[in-house]
Amino acid sequence: MMAPNNTHSAPNKTSLRSLLEGEKLNHTNFLDWYRSVRIVLKQEKKEYVLNEPLPEEPPAIPKPAHDAWLKKMDDSIDASCLMLATMIPDL
């Protein structure tokens, strides 16, 4: 039995990240750079980190709630690293 042909495959994350390869933030291109960052983060379902404050670590809570908090922290780190990696060094 053959696997079904899925024509709706997920987009390749590296293909959208390539938007940022030539779009390093410098002193003159903030709007273009920010637009590209938002596109990449939206595709990776992490755009929310630009608009929401980081939640405080909750006190002792059930594992599912702690795992949700940990994912938000990981997403925030991913977004921060992406943004820093796409800036020119003197910024």
Among the listed residues 89, 88, 87, the one whose alpha carbon sits nearest the alpha carbon of residue 34: 87
Tell me the C-alpha distance between 6 and 3, whole Å. 9
> What are the DSSP calls for 40-52, one per residue?
HHHHTT-GGGGTS
pLDDT digits (tens, 9 = 90+) for 60-71: 889 998 999 999
pLDDT digits (tens, 9 = 90+) for 13-55: 556 777 787 778 999 999 999 999 999 999 999 999 999 998 8
pTM > 0.85: no
Q: Which alpha helices (H) appear in the chain, and where do they start and end?
A: 13-21, 30-43, 63-85
- Please give the residue that has the higher pLDDT: either 90 or 12: 90
For the chain, what are the domain ranges? 13-50+59-85
Neighbours of 29 (CB within 10 A): 14
